Amino acid sequence: MRRTSVLLLALAAVAAVAAAAPGSIWAGVYTTAQAARGQKAYLADCAECHGEALRGIDDALPLVDQVFLKKWTGKSVGHLVDVTRRTMPTDSPGTISRQVCTDIVAYVLSVNGFPAGQRELAPATVLLKQILIEPKK
């Protein structure tokens, strides 16, 4: 076999493993119970600026649909949790725990049409960084 074919085979094998990993956002990375908790927290801590339907108000950007997905495609769920934890709410950043931020992100994912599954989205950074926001393949 030529060296390029070997390389292509190796890449295909890596891609197959990556596709099977539970890291895909389409595999169901949060539970409906978690999203429900997240919704409560969202309504209490975020809705006054981002709106009850997550569509954004003035400078507070929308957290749903094309604008949001376009900006976040290719980035990790971990990055979204980090940004939320570090910068939101803008008037008192850092006041919401990592667990609650993770629950809120689960809710944001649910509103954006990503499916729920059997396991909760865990707040651990290493795990969250493996889950990419991406269109359905």
Chain position carrying tokens 């725990």: 97
**Which of 3/91 has CB closer to ligand HEC?**
91
Cis peptide before 89 (omega within 30 of 0): yes
**Which of 19/95 has CB closer to ligand HEC?**
95
**Nearest approach, Cβ of residue 48 and ligand HEC (Å):** 5
Q: Cα separation of 93 and 112, whole Å?
A: 24
**Which of 22/94 has CB closer to ligand HEC?**
94
Site of interaction with ligand HEC (CB under 6 A):
45-46, 48-50, 59-61, 63, 68, 71, 80, 83-84, 87-91, 96, 104
**Nearest approach, Cβ of residue 12 and ligand HEC (Å):** 34
Compute how many other C-beta atoms are within 10 angstroms of the C-beta atom of residue 12: 10
Can you say how many angstroms the Cα of residue 11 is from the centroid of all Cα atoms in its chain? 26
